[in-house]
Amino acid sequence: MTAGRKAAVPVDALPADEAEAELERLAAEIAEHDRRYYQEDAPVVSDAEYDRLRQRNAAIEARFPELVRADSPSGRVGAQPSQKFGKIRHAVPMLSLDNAFSDEDVVDFVGRIRRFLGLKAEAAVALTAEPKIDGLSASLRYEAGRLVVGATRGDGTEGEDVTANIRTIAEIPQSLPAGAPEVVEIRGEVYMSHADFRALNERMAAAGGGRVFANPRNAAAGSLRQLDPKITASRPLRFFAYSWGAWSGDLPCATQTGMVALFREWGFPTNDLMVRCETVEAALAHYHMVEERRARLGYDIDGVVYKVDDLALQRRLGFVSRAPRWAIAHKFAPERATTVLEAIEIQVGRTGALTPVAKLTPVTVGGVVVSNASLHNEDYIKGIGNDGQPIREGRDIRVGDTVVVQRAGDVIPQIVDVNLAERPADSEPYVFPTTCPVCGSDAVREHNAKTGREDSVRRCTGGLVCPAQAIERLRHFVARDALDIEGLGEKQVEAFYRDGLIAHPSDIFRLDEARLKGREGYGPTSIRNLLGAIAARREIDLNRFILALGIRHVGETNARLLARHFGTFARFREVASAAGRQDEQAWAELDGIDGIGPVVGEAIVQFFREAHNQEELDRLLSFVSPRPMEEQATGSPVAGKTVVFTGSLERMTRDEAKAMAERFGARVSGSVSAKTDLVVAGPGAGSKLKKAAELGVEVIDEDAWFHLVGA
């Protein structure tokens, strides 16, 4: 029997015993289709039919969560395949890269490096320049010369264990030559060549079913993250080595170039277009050469990566949040295509922003089919930029227009231009709504004190009475990177909100058996599971808690920066609230956090100024204890301490000193107070030294500082 026929019984009317039997049948049937599709590349059902099976499986599981099978197809592919792989904690985090979009950005990058290191403007900083491969990064761990772990990047801290799949990639050595260090982690990019990608898609299309990969990157990612390594083995994956993670003993080379040459000697493929450039001009010339050859390379690249070649300098430069200071990705100009704007839809976000979304006649941009694109805001549609100046020479965007869509990497596609020659004669300028399409409240543009102009974003004034905002806020609160409560996803939050079970995040912790009983799909087991999952989040990492609050501009990176800086939620709240009362020192502390700019600072202060946010925080904190930040450098003698640098430092610049202290888990402050734990004083230190003496704060010199942190 096929589940297609069974679908005649609506899921709502399905008794539990039949549901159980059907889930079993569906699991077997879907597994068989998966096998035919992935292993034999020969599916026997259409995509639509296959999707229907999965949807029915999901619908039954949603109604009977306690019947979800261990081998459920819903866990295998789709939204969260990652949970199906074991987790690997990276011994050294896998970083991402900052982007440069112009030659000037690259010149600035080198300028920043010079300043950070205290080098003269004319001092040489040699860079490597190499293609940025558009694949997915992997870390390969060798112990005693043998490949023992292959992991994806994941969130940079934890990746997925894809060891068995990595072993099937012929280009990756299974062992290192004799004499290699005990532990070596080689990092690089897994990718698929254009020719192999086309052949794979042809093979899949010929096998029927029409399911093909959109681009070589997706094909590489889809192939590497297969549960069955036999499938990965049948996919033509390739690898370029360009970096490393853990390494026992001293590094064998003093430069990036030397390390990569060693990888090549060891048998790893490395990219022939990697060169060392003595000047930024040479690096830029290499970029333009690579860009010119891009289409003929035979594999996708999306830019050129520059790295400081000298590893001692790399070490001194360190990293900011999740990207090294010593490297940058210079992206190629994004890809564009022309299509028709069919409609403009207004979405309302968590902060009440009304965001116009373009509904397009589907078009392929850089290998991906695009049917939605961002229109940013009201002014953007009118042809006015954030600075009030005309963009697109003032050309507005209208429904019915022929528009240019641009897509760059993972960035949301945007409409960047309009072709007036194609504009229909009867077209009218777009009228942006002045009421919220969700709750009907007024939608207004606030006056921005800083720019002296109207904000470009129109916001719904409905606050929490606006379901769009409340729901978005709740969704954000339980999202994967935030509270991440098992069994409480977007759908459940939305349903609970609509049924009046939760209005504020803190209400989640008030859910109890009485309130959940009798709800469809909530038997005793699932109620117990859900309440257990909620209780498990009564203790939560500080950075996740900060992220969950949904403060504007505070995403994952900034939440981490804040958590690391403040250490505890109480301290963050105290300083941010004090800044809201115009306390200068509190403002100075916020401003001084590396990576937190004025816009973010303002948003934080604004959040804590709102009485209803403070009230909700009180409620939340009566249930939840944010876990104080485990200092990044546990065991560091300065972890959690407040340090002040004063006088002229001779072995490092001020920026470098600050970054170094933060790397070791300390907070850096600009002034000495009773809260200061340590003052590092160089020659010429004056009033701060005196103040330290008065307050009895410990004072050490620069050499003692290096000795203390063991650098």
Catalytic residues, by residue number, are 132
Other residues' Cβ atoms within 10 Å of the Cβ of residue 582: 9
Minimum distance from residue 137 beta carbon to ligand IVH (Å): 3
- Tokens in use for 406? 């641009």
Looking at residue 598, its amino acid is P
- Cβ proximity to ligand IVH: between 239 and 242 the closer is 242
With contact defined as beta carbons under 8 Å apart, do 238 and 269 qualify? yes
Q: Is the CB of 57 or the CB of 128 nearer to ligand IVH?
A: 128
| Residues 690-709 contacting ligand IVH, CB under 6 A | none
- Return the number of the residue (90 or 153) whose C-beta is nearest ligand IVH: 153
How far is Cα 276 from Cα 142, in angstroms, rounded to an integer? 27
Site membership for ligand IVH, residue 507 (CB under 6 A): no
Query: Site residues for ligand IVH, window 537-596 (CB under 6 A)?
Result: none
Count of all residues that appear for the chain in the document: 711
By C-beta, is 92 or 170 nearer to ligand IVH? Answer: 92
- The rounded distance, in Å, linking the Cα atoms of 505 and 622 is 12
Q: How far apart are the first and last CA of the chain?
A: 68
Min CB(265)–ligand IVH separation in Å? 19
Q: Would you say 208 or 595 has its CB closer to ligand IVH? A: 595
Binding residues for ligand IVH, rule CB under 6 A, total 15
CA trace torsion 529, 532, 536, 537 (10° rounding):
80
Nearest distance in Å: CB 232, ligand IVH:
18
Q: Quote the least distance from Cβ 187 to ligand IVH, whole Å.
A: 7
d(CA 125, CA 105) in angstroms, rounded, equals: 16
As a whole number of angstroms, the distance between CA 386 and CA 20 comes to 56
Stretch that binds ligand IVH, among 64-72, 323-331, 397-405, 526-534 (CB under 6 A): 323-331
Task: Write out the DSSP string of 253-275.
Answer: -SBHHHHHHHHHHTT----TT-E
61 or 189: CB nearest ligand IVH = 189
Comparison of 21 and 92: residue with beta carbon closer to ligand IVH: 92
Q: Which range in 281-289, 324-332, 531-539, 587-595 contacts ligand IVH by CB under 6 A?
A: 324-332
Burial group, residue 648, by CB count within 10 angstroms (0-12, 13-18, 19+): exposed
Placement of tokens 């003269």 in the chain: 120
Closest CA to 305 of 96, 93, 92: 96
CB 98, min distance to ligand IVH, A: 8
Residues 173-192 that bind ligand IVH (CB under 6 A): 189
Q: Which is nearer to ligand IVH, 92 or 536 (CB)?
A: 92
Instruction: Please report whether residue 377 would count as binding ligand IVH according to CB under 6 A.
Output: no
Smallest gap from Cβ 333 to ligand IVH, in A, equals 17
Tokens found for residue 355: 């965001």
Return the range that interacts with ligand IVH (CB under 6 A); candidates 4-12, 89-97, 349-357, 417-425: 89-97
Distance in Å, CB of 189 to ligand IVH, minimum: 5
Identify the residue among 173, 324, 334, 413 touching ligand IVH (CB under 6 A): 324
Please name the residue that has the structure tokens 């889930």. Answer: 23
- Residues 278/124, Cβ–Cβ less than 8 Å: yes
Minimum gap (Å) between residue 273 Cβ and ligand IVH: 10
Q: Does 96 bind ligand IVH (CB under 6 A)?
A: yes
CB within 8 A of 518, min separation 6: which ones?
none
Footprint of ligand IVH on residues 114-143 (CB under 6 A)? 130, 132-133, 137
Q: Which residues of 566-677 form beta strands (DSSP E)?
A: 625-627, 642-646, 667-668
CA distances from 288 to 4, 130, 331 (A): 55, 12, 11
**Which two three-digit tokens encode residue 397?**
């965007």
Helix (H) or strand (E) holding 329: strand 327-331
**Per-residue x/- track, 36-65, ligand IVH (CB under 6 A):** ------------------------------
In the set 113, 200, 231, 329, which binds ligand IVH (CB under 6 A)? 329
Residue closer to ligand IVH by CB (options 259, 384) is 259
Residue 65 or 269 with smaller CB distance to ligand IVH:
269
User: Which of the stretches 94-102, 144-152, 561-569, 683-691 binds ligand IVH when contact is defined by CB under 6 A?
Assistant: 94-102
Minimum CB distance to ligand IVH, residue 660 (Å): 18
What does the per-residue mask of binding to ligand IVH show for 189-208, with x meaning CB under 6 A?
x-------------------
**Contacting ligand IVH (CB under 6 A), which of 190, 327, 373, 534?**
327
Q: Which helix (H) or strand (E) holds 133?
A: strand 127-133
Binds ligand IVH (CB under 6 A): choice among 54, 153, 392, 688: 153
Given the rule CB under 6 A, which of 95-103, 202-210, 665-673, 684-692 is the region that contacts ligand IVH? 95-103
CB of 596 to ligand IVH, least distance (A): 22
Cβ 682 vs Cβ 701: under 8 Å:
yes
Least distance from ligand IVH to the Cβ atom of residue 553, Å: 21
By CB under 6 A, which span of 23-31, 57-65, 93-101, 648-656 interacts with ligand IVH? 93-101
By the 8 A CB rule, do 483 and 477 touch?
yes
Closest CA to 460 of 471, 450, 446: 446
Q: Alpha-carbon distance 197 to 208, whole Å?
A: 17
By CB under 6 A, name the one of 26, 58, 97, 709 that touches ligand IVH: 97
Among 57, 243, 406, 676, binds ligand IVH (CB under 6 A): 243
Q: How far is CA 181 from CA 139, 249, 390, 442, in A?
A: 16, 7, 59, 66
* 3 state SS for 366-430: CCEEEEEEECCCHHHHHCECCCCCECHHHCCCCCCCEEEEEECCCCCCEEEEEEHHHCCCCCCCC
The CA distances from residue 46 to 2, 50, 226, 363, in Å, are 14, 6, 21, 23
Q: How far is the CB of 133 from ligand IVH (least distance, A)?
A: 4
Return all residues near 148 (Cβ < 8 A) that are at least 6 apart. 141, 142, 163
Query: Which residues inside 286-315 make contact with ligand IVH, applying CB under 6 A?
Result: 305
Q: How far is the CB of 114 from ligand IVH (least distance, A)?
A: 20
- Point out the residue whose Cβ comes nearest to ligand IVH: 137
Kindly tell me which residue out of 242, 587, 607, 608 binds ligand IVH, with binding defined by CB under 6 A: 242
Residue closer to ligand IVH, measured from CB, 137 or 414: 137
Among residues 184 and 397, whose Cβ is nearest to ligand IVH? Answer: 184
Q: How far is it, in rounded angstroms, from Cα 491 to Cα 497?
A: 10
CB-nearer residue toward ligand IVH: 260 or 530: 260
Within a 13 Å sphere around the CA of 99, how many CA atoms are in the beta-carbon half?
11
Stretch that binds ligand IVH, among 58-66, 91-99, 212-220, 510-518 (CB under 6 A): 91-99
The radius of gyration computed from the CA coordinates of the chain, to the nearest angstrom, equals 28
Read off the DSSP letter of residue 37. I
Cβ atoms 89, 158 nearer than 8 A: yes
What contacts 378, CB < 8 A, 6 or more positions away?
A: 354, 356, 432, 445, 456, 457, 458
Contact residues for ligand IVH, defined by CB under 6 A: 95-97, 130, 132-133, 137, 153, 189, 242-243, 305, 324, 327, 329
